[in-house]
Chains A and B, each alone.
Chain A
């Protein structure tokens, strides 16, 4: 306890000195997110400074072992770090598929050489990763994937197509599921890493309903991949793929707690309702709207408490518990509902697309509302999550 308190004091002091002032303000648009990578662009030089300082201590990946560039913090110490960062409203220094998804999987399944090669570069934000899972014919039924990978003696040869690959056009490397045995389904999949700059890789951006183009169709034509880039055993990639999905779902679940673009700029649901709808005796003028807001807030609080309970159970050695199986489903549905409600609150001000007549915050909410629709699709749809709960948790038969 005392050691933890000392850690808190030191962390507080260090953050106080090293977190630049502009990194303690809320982000006003998605463009300010720091993803790192070879071609990273920093609108604000302090963002780069903040990333480098945090990376230096391994605090972009606080709980990873120091040997791979991580912070080597215990869970408790990391909690303190997160609390202290929230206290000063520090922005995350780095957003990264490498940290959220690939890193934890490499720590568990990769060989020493692979860990040494990739993990430190993820921590420093030098390499930006993308996720090559989905294909035109394999979405929910991911194990039906067909991207072909052949053993050519001294290298692998990859041919095929991925789709919905987020940021494939901006990423440096890809972690990719490939078919190495066409005669088996789950047992014919392997987990492969390769450089997106390899000849034969092409990423074509797809426009999303929100107007952004964050995801791509990704084509592989005779892409040569060194054999050392296979993670785990040949044809045993499905286990790694599934574990990585767990990390991805955990990350997406957090959306239920409200995050960037969730209307914070408008002062929260109730303030927005007072501003856009009107106030009567200090209350939101529409009782019906007020009721909707309360339902949303109550469910949000209940969800946050459930995530907290799950964490406490895990800490008490009771395992992650069945409750965690609902997080992806509930968190994303809750987030979608929040945006629907924000739009209702804003009326026609929530229906602007661009230009005059709308504030930046308003446009951000509208665009984020559209983007939020993908939350219950990406990382496994809500229906697939419900299938998982009914089969694994409730043991209902096929």
Chain B
């Protein structure tokens, strides 16, 4: 009974819809891009989002959160996807907030979760080391030396890495590259000596960074969770992020579908609107079907998280694979059906396409997740 929204959830969705359309419309992303904004999102608006409770949506009331749960967060992300809203929701709330919630000790939780909920702290997860998502391929090392650890290695595609107030770094404390065991999560101050951060400008005009660690010293109290046991936390956190990004992509595909449909009813060629041509009608009907399936999958994934079902990994992979593939298809088709207009920067469909590709590459694309799904199912 979780595929239909409750009244409370519908209310939240309406609040979010209004907020993103008024405060973070697509024009906002264009402005950040065109002014080459150094932060890459609007800090003041992030504070507004926190005041509305979006930043603390998965955080318990004890730490100043609203504890609205994963379905609530999914609804907010879906609406954010519709306007391509740039915000640190993924980096700070989905990834780092969840990691601290799951693995943090009392002090860490108190310090970090309340700062996140208040909108006062931006965080980033330094995980990837290559051009493809691979959470166990970690060469970055953390060597124990007395009461401290020394971290060395290179991370890439760190979302919001260049503006984070605090990093969570996945480093190897034992084992070899590709081993599941031996990964440890560290809380690292990005201003520490030996940390070098380079912002990478991506096609979606959002934020990412390459970060290198050269013998960076962190105290033992910086360990998040257990030494060598980081993968268990990582996997749960990644599934939350995969499902959250799927929810964002649901909003994205729905928006491109809606705008394309409107364009087909308005653009005339051959003396009639192009939406009267069956060659386009059938493609729209097929896309409609694909998106309806996407919606069911995202809702089920969110409620799986909420109910802490044990098939979360499976449904997370299903959601991320399906939404990645559909987002690619929808943005390609949407652009094509806009004709020459679709190729212009003035039309939004290109922006959606660029965001879709980055979202697809985040935490596993269709190939990654189909392979994972098959492994989980034992074939």
- Report which of A293, A303, A329, A393 forms a contact with B374, defined as CB distance below 8 A: A293
Q: How many A-B residue pairs have CB under 8 A?
A: 123
A305's partner among B3, B273, B377, B378 (CB-CB below 8 A) is: B3
Q: Report B-chain residues with C-beta under 8 Å of the C-beta of A395.
A: 265
Contact (Cβ within 8 A) B281 A390: yes
User: Which of A's residues lie within 8 Å of B, judged by CB?
Assistant: 270, 273-274, 282-284, 287, 290-291, 293-295, 297-299, 301-303, 305-306, 308-309, 312-313, 316, 318, 322-323, 326, 329-330, 383, 385-387, 389-391, 393-398
Partner of A396, one of B284, B295, B370: B284
B322 CB contact (under 8 Å) in A298, A326, A329, A389:
A298
Say which residue of B293, B375, B379 sits within 8 Å of A306 (CB atoms): B293
A120 to chain B, nearest CB (A): 35
Given A290-B374, A303-B293, A306-B293, CB of A312 within 8 Å of CB of B276? no
Interface contact A294-B373, CB-CB below 8 Å:
yes
B118 within 8 A of A: no
In the assembled complex, B327 has its CB within 8 A of some CB on chain A: no
- Whole-angstrom distance between the alpha carbons of A303 and B261 in the complex? 23
> Which of A283, A299, A391 is the one whose CB lies under 8 Å from B379?
A283
Which of B4, B265, B278, B296 lies in contact with A302, CB distance below 8 A? B296
How distant is the Cα of A282 from the Cα of B374 in the complex, in angstroms?
11
- A218, B65: Cα distance in complex, Å: 70
Collect the chain B residues with CB atoms within 8 Å of residue A303's CB: 293
Chief secondary structure at chain A's binding surface: helix
Determine how close the nearest CB of chain B comes to the CB of A74; give it in whole angstroms: 17
Contacts of B269-294 to chain A: CB distance below 8 A: 272-273, 275-276, 278, 281-282, 284-286, 288-289, 292-294
Of chain B, the residue at the smallest CB distance from A290 is B374
| Interface size classification for chain B | 35 or more
Q: 24 interchain pairs (CB within 8 A)?
A: A270-B377, A270-B379, A283-B379, A287-B371, A291-B367, A291-B371, A294-B371, A294-B373, A297-B373, A298-B373, A299-B322, A301-B297, A301-B318, A302-B293, A308-B3, A329-B289, A386-B286, A387-B282, A390-B285, A393-B288, A394-B261, A395-B265, A396-B276, A398-B276
Q: A274-B379, A302-B322, A398-B276 are in contact. Are A390 and B284 (CB under 8 A)?
A: yes
- CB-defined contacts of B4 to chain A, threshold 8 Å: 309, 312-313, 316, 318
Taking A298-B373, A312-B3, A397-B272 as known contacts, 16 extra A-B pairs with beta carbons closer than 8 A to each other, sorted by chain A number, are A284-B374, A287-B371, A294-B374, A297-B377, A305-B296, A308-B3, A326-B288, A329-B285, A386-B281, A387-B285, A389-B289, A390-B281, A393-B288, A394-B261, A396-B284, A397-B276
B166 to A: closest C-beta gap in Å: 36
Q: DSSP class of B's interface residues: helix, strand, loop or mixed?
A: helix
List of B residues within 8 angstroms of A298 by Cβ: 318, 321-322, 370, 373
- Tell whether, in the assembled complex, residue B289 and residue A302 are in contact, meaning their CB atoms are under 8 Å apart: no
Residues on B with C-beta less than 8 A from A326 are 285, 288-289, 292
Q: Which of B275, B276, B289, B375 contacts A330 (CB 8 A)?
A: B289
Looking at B278, B292, B293, the one whose CB has the most chain A CB atoms below 10 A away is: B292
Task: Give A331 Cβ to nearest chain B Cβ, in Å.
Answer: 10
Q: Is the CB of B296 within 8 A of A390?
A: no
Query: Considering only CB atoms, which chain A residue lies closest to B314 in the complex?
Result: A301
CA distance A299 to B296 in the complex (A): 11
Chain A positions within 8 Å of B265 at CB level: 395-397
Contacts of B377 in A (CB 8 A): 270, 297
Shortest B179–chain A CB gap in Å is 17
- Give min CB distance, A294 to chain B, whole Å: 4
